[in-house]
A and B are shown apart, each in its own frame.
Chain A
Amino acid sequence: MGQEQVLIQVKNLKKYFPVGGFGSKKAAKALDGITFDIYQGETLGLVGESGCGKTTMGRVILGLTPATEGEVWFDGQNITHYTEKQMRPLRSEMQIIFQDPYGCLDPRKTVFELIAAPLKVHGMKDREQLKKRVLELMEEVGLRADYIDRFPHEFSGGQRQRIGIARAIAINPRFIVCDEPVSALDVSVQAQVVNLIRKLQKEHGLTYLFISHDLRVVKHLCDRIVVMYLGVVVESGCKKDIYENPVHPYTRALLSAVPEVGNDAVEHRTILEGDIPSPIDPPSGCRFHTRCPQAQPVCSQQAPPQVDLGNGHMCCCHFCGGKP
Chain B
Amino acid sequence: MKHSVQKFIRKNPLAAVGIVIWAVFILCAVLAPVIAPYDPAVQDLASRFQAPGSAHWFGTDSFGRDIFSRVIYGAQISIPSGILVVILSCAFGSLYGAVAGYFGKVVDEVLMRIADIILSFPAILLAMALAAALGKSVLNAILAIAVVAWPKYARMMRGLVLTVRESEYVTSERVIGQNRMTILLKTIIPNCMSSVLVLASTDVGTAILTFAGLSFLGMGVSPPTAEWGYMVSDGVAILEYWWISFFPGASIFLVSIGANFIGDAIRDILDPRMKTEV
Which of A's residues lie within 8 Å of B, judged by CB?
A: 62, 64, 84, 87-88, 91-92, 95-96, 98, 100, 103-108, 117-118, 121-122, 151, 153-154, 164, 167, 171
Contacts and interface: CB of A to CB of B under 8 A. Distances in A.
A274 B177 CA distance: 41
B169 A122 contact: no
B169 A104 contact: yes
Contacts of B173: 106, 117
A98 B172 contact: yes
Nearest to A96: B175
A29 B214 CA distance: 58
Interface string B230-271: 000000000000000000000000000000000000000000
A161 to B, nearest CB: 12
A114 to B, nearest CB: 9
B133 interface: no
B137 interface: no
B117 interface: no
B171 A64 contact: yes
A92 B177 CA distance: 8
Given A108-B272, A151-B272, A153-B273, A62 B167 contact: no
B108 to A, nearest CB: 15
B167 A103 contact: yes
Interface string B166-183: 011101111111111000
Contact of A107 (B174, B176, B272): B272
Contacts of B43: none
B175 A91 contact: yes
Nearest to A99: B168
B177 A87 contact: yes
B172 A105 contact: yes
Interface of B: 167-169, 171-180, 187, 190-191, 272-273, 276
A121 B178 contact: yes
A103 B175 contact: no
B177 A88 contact: yes
Contacts of B167: 103
Contacts of B172: 96, 98, 104-106, 164, 167
Given A100-B168, A104-B172, A121 B272 contact: no
Contacts of A106: 169, 172-173, 187, 191
A288 B192 CA distance: 44
A72 B180 CA distance: 23
Given A105-B172, A106-B169, A153-B273, 14 more contacts: A64-B175, A84-B180, A87-B177, A88-B177, A91-B175, A91-B176, A91-B177, A98-B168, A103-B167, A104-B171, A106-B173, A108-B272, A117-B178, A164-B172
B251 to A, nearest CB: 36
A95 B177 CA distance: 10
A56 B249 CA distance: 58
Contacts of B276: 153-154
A108 B168 contact: no
Given A100-B168, A104-B169, A151 B176 contact: no
A164 B167 CA distance: 15
B177 A122 contact: yes
A151 B178 contact: no
A105 B178 CA distance: 15
Most A Cβ at <10 Å: residue of B173, B176, B190 = B176
Nearest to B274: A153
Nearest to B164: A106
Nearest to B178: A121
